[in-house]
A and B are shown apart, each in its own frame.
Chain A
Amino acid sequence: MNPYLSMRGITKVYKDMEVPANSNVDFEVKTGEIHALIGENGAGKTTLMKILYGLELPEAGDIYIKDQEVKIHSPLEANRLGIGMVHQHFKLIGDFTVAENIVLGIEPKKNLFFVNREEAIKKVAEVIEKHNFHIDPSTKVSKLTVGQMQQVEIIKMLYRNVDLLVLDEPTSVLTEQEIQRLFETLRYLLTLGKTIIIITHKLNEVMEIASRVSVMRKGVMVATRNIKEVDKKELARLMIGKSVLFQINKEIVACGEPVVELKDVTLYQRGRQTPLLQDLNFSVHSCEILGLAGVGGNGLGELEDILSGLRKISKGKIYHNEENVTNLGAEALRNRGFAYVPADRLNRGSSLTTTVKENLIVSNHHSFLSRGVIKRKMVQDFVDTLQKGFSIDGDPDKPIGTLSGGNIQKVILARELAGKTDFIIFSEPTWGLDIASSQFVYEKILEIRKQGVAVLLISSNLDELLSLADRIIVLYKGRIVANRINDDTLDNEGVGEYMLGLRDDFARKGDNHGE
């Protein structure tokens, strides 16, 4: 049978980039299959799909839909050809309703200029009904859960009658349960005769949902395989060209004294009745990796802010080595040996337009002063040492934004691990990083654990969390609902249940579960 989609000889070069984003890429998708497009960051998969969706124009190459050559210059044209895309970062307007978001750009009109609201809601409701989603078209998008927002994106495409649906890293923001729901939806769409391309770097999911997989590396299409013919190891090898082993062998290290302790920590926000964090009681010990799990919006971000001194708590106490450090600011905490590798690398963890050098010294620039003036030689020596120690590739006098994602994270790591630290927070440390950089990060985390540092690891990657952590706590609606040793009785599903409020080890009698 002829392929549904055929892209041939696609080449795309971005200005200022040395390696072409796409280099003579051939890509074929059969009707009615789920085809995974995988590759490391920067491999060119998103670029290829952007070209398919009309968001970019290639320097060379052709696209064929059902053997007809097509030229796609804009998403509108792509839609007309039956191609739809669900982006990694949702393209939704929070203040608008579901219906408004879905019809935006092709609004049903009355009297030429006016949007026919009733018609829009009716038509959107029809589509929602037909495909068994359960979303009210009149709700504001900002009030939906992340999983529901993604559903709106999918409905947006179904509303436009697409036959080929491309999803870009769709699971990076979903919980386990939401991921399963998504896969159900995708399988359902197949029964309608749709064809699906899913861009991802999560090999587990590829093995679970796809029927065929294409691998890209450094802008080149490396291979296409049937899922039945490969395993994760083979795919990983194709992705990075070398052999990779997946095991992280953790030594059992004797646990030490509590370094950081939280007692009854509560955080209110002005104007809201329910506290963002409620009665938190836990501690992080030296030589321990404490894993923290939870769905976004349940208090993890706030806990991160508090423990790094960026936010004050309303009630309770925080202790560091038995001394009260409640509500001391970031500067004071850093002087005491707190370090912090934030999830938000680009805004919080670094300043993209500033040089690598200046990024490296932000938390300890005081130590380079002599009479108020920054000593340049001292800074240079410091930077050189770190660059070697962490194998950072890049010119230290260039803006850090010119470095690859992996190297930026290394700069942040280098900086945070440079001083005398006894407590460090890692938040989503390997999000978006390629396998090699992730390995590097895991190495470092285990290394400092062995050196006696207390580590708080916040991650939405449950595989990562369960491989590294000695103990796991889960936050749900601002409360701790689990505080368990990470042993064989705990698995992804189990943690997922806590994350969704389906299980609560600390519930008091009379509490409602899973509100």
Chain B
Amino acid sequence: MVSGMILPEKGITMANKKSIKEHLAGAVGLLITLAAAFIIVLILVFLLSKDPLRTISYFFSGPFRNKFYFGNMINASIPLIFTGLGISLAFKSSMFNLGGEGQVYSGGLAATAVCLALPLANPFLGSIFALIAAFAAGGIIAGLSGVFKMAWDTDELITSFLISSALILIVDFIITGPMDDPTNNLLATSPIPLQYRFLKIYPPSKLDISLFFALFFAAGVYFFMNRTHWGYEMRMCGLNREFARYGGINVGKFMVIPMILSGGLHGLGGGFAILGTYDMCLKGFSGGMGWNGIAVALIAKNNPLAVIPAALFFAYLEAGAKAAMLHSDVTFEIAAIVQSVIFYLVTAQALYGLVSSKKRKAL
């Protein structure tokens, strides 16, 4: 027995009020970011447009003016939800999937290929196969980077980007070459059989039932990450891999699995886009979906449920820019400038007041 027992020192506990302060700081930061985006749009339009007021009005209210614009805006957010989910999941597991663009594109092509190869199948089953193919395409591509990382510690950030870049070119080739449909004047494959195309729910816009799938997956990813076995293990790996390994978690497995799931979600985004909106694999249809997925995940702070409003916000930005472009004299790319400002600000910790809190010397 150890003699002279001393009562343990009371550790200093953080009062609960701190968490409210944290939340407030976070909200303020987000507000600053959104306000800055707003202001940048105003500045750009005033500088670039000969009719600034008209342009601004179209930029901000354009997407709401009629069913067509509004529905299409919501529709545009669907792929972003998928890619945003894919990135969030990867980030939470501390894996960097930079190959989103290629994964979405390949997923779309895979879905198209399955549909074209099975022209007479049951619509329900056929669509499912197509989507599985889309998931598999994205999953395998990203999973490859995960395997390289697990086996030989190759940086997955760079390999996922490189593989994806190569694949984009290859898919381009396939669409404009062997799978090109000479009967239409587009750089695209033949249209997929009618029975596979998803039901439109808000004509005349292209909004289709993919929306419900997107919401379902968002909830699913949230549940998966926070309440299941695998989700817990992935999050522990993401927060501290050494700790996870020590605790008996197979960290190698959880380098590959998050990449597969992330790539798969991206692929699904592409698949749903084809089955719901494009009806054929158009060259470059997925441009920007991968990169924007990263932005969406950032704003959503990698929370799967927050991905939904974040994706909607981005879709709104792009829809506004499109409307302004169609009805006024500015070019669509101002959206890119606004998006970059958001990227900058959303990650600037100083705005969130998180900077100077001295970490307690926890030794």
Contacts and interface: CB of A to CB of B under 8 A. Distances in A.
Asked if A and B form a direct contact in the complex, defined as CB atoms under 8 angstroms apart, the reply is: yes
B358 A362 contact: no
B240 interface: yes
A14 B360 CA distance: 10
Contacts of B239: 351, 353-354
Contacts, number: 163
Nearest to A245: B4
Given A41-B363, A365-B232, A329 B248 contact: yes
Interface of B: 1-16, 18, 227-230, 232-233, 235-236, 239-240, 242-250, 356-363
A131 interface: no
Interface in A219-259: 240, 242-249, 251
Contact of A362 (B12, B229, B243): B243
28 contacts: A15-B356, A15-B357, A17-B360, A244-B6, A248-B3, A310-B246, A330-B245, A340-B246, A349-B246, A358-B232, A362-B236, A366-B229, A373-B227, A373-B229, A374-B229, A398-B14, A403-B362, A404-B362, A405-B362, A407-B11, A436-B6, A436-B7, A436-B8, A437-B9, A439-B2, A439-B6, A443-B2, A443-B5
B6 A435 contact: yes
B362 A248 contact: no
Contact of A363 (B13, B232, B248): B248
B128 to A, nearest CB: 23
A442 interface: yes
Given A373-B228, A401-B362, A349 B243 contact: yes
Please report whether the interface of chain B is mostly helix, strand, loop or mixed according to DSSP: loop
Contact of B12 (A18, A40, A347): A18
Tell me which of B4, B16, B232, B363 has the highest count of chain A C-beta atoms within 10 A of its own C-beta.
B363
Interface string A344-376: 111111111110001000110110010011100
Tell me which of B4, B232, B248, B356 has the highest count of chain A C-beta atoms within 10 A of its own C-beta.
B248
Contacts of A365: 229, 232-233
Given A329-B248, A331-B248, A372-B228, 8 more contacts: A15-B357, A240-B6, A242-B6, A251-B1, A334-B247, A353-B239, A362-B248, A432-B363
A408 B236 CA distance: 17
A393 B10 contact: yes
B246 A374 contact: no
Interface string A372-394: 11100000000000000001011
B57 to A, nearest CB: 45
A379 B6 CA distance: 30
Tell me which of B7, B9, B12, B13 has the highest count of chain A C-beta atoms within 10 A of its own C-beta.
B9
Contact of B9 (A344, A347, A406, A443): A406
Contacts of B357: 15-16
Interface string A296-314: 0000000000001110000
Contacts of A398: 14
Nearest to A346: B362
B232 A374 contact: yes
A405 B242 contact: no
Interface of A: 14-19, 40-42, 46, 240, 242-249, 251, 308-310, 329-331, 333-335, 340, 342, 344-354, 358, 362-363, 365-366, 369, 372-374, 391, 393-395, 398, 401-408, 410, 431-432, 434-437, 439-440, 442-443, 446
Contact of B359 (A41, A393, A401): A401
A310 B3 CA distance: 36
Contacts of A373: 227-229
Contacts of B8: 391, 393, 406, 410, 436-437, 440
B224 to A, nearest CB: 9
B228 A348 contact: no
A-B pairs with lowest CB-CB distance, top 7 = A245-B4, A362-B247, A351-B240, A331-B248, A404-B11, A432-B363, A393-B11
A238 to B, nearest CB: 14
Nearest to B247: A362
B363 A362 contact: no
A446 B363 contact: no
Contacts of B228: 372-374
Contacts of A372: 228-230
A352 B236 contact: no
A99 to B, nearest CB: 32
Contact of B18 (A16, A358, A401, A431): A16
Contacts of B2: 248-249, 439, 442-443, 446
Contacts of B7: 436
B14 A362 contact: no
Contacts of B9: 40, 240, 404, 406, 434, 436-437
Contact of B247 (A330, A393, A405): A330
Contacts of A436: 6-9
Contacts of A395: 13-14, 16
Contact of A17 (B1, B10, B236, B358): B358
A29 B149 CA distance: 55
B157 to A, nearest CB: 21
A369 B229 contact: yes
Contacts of B232: 358, 365, 374
A330 B362 contact: no
A435 B230 CA distance: 40
A239 B32 CA distance: 48
Nearest to A447: B1
B11 A348 contact: no
B55 to A, nearest CB: 45
A373 B227 CA distance: 6
A24 B176 CA distance: 77
Contacts of B6: 240, 242, 244, 435-436, 439
Given A249-B3, A366-B229, A374-B232, A354 B240 contact: yes
Contacts of A435: 6
Contacts of A346: 362-363
A308 B236 CA distance: 19
A352 B3 CA distance: 33
Contacts of A245: 3-4
Contacts of A404: 9, 11-12, 360, 362
Contact of B236 (A354, A394, A402): A354
B253 to A, nearest CB: 11
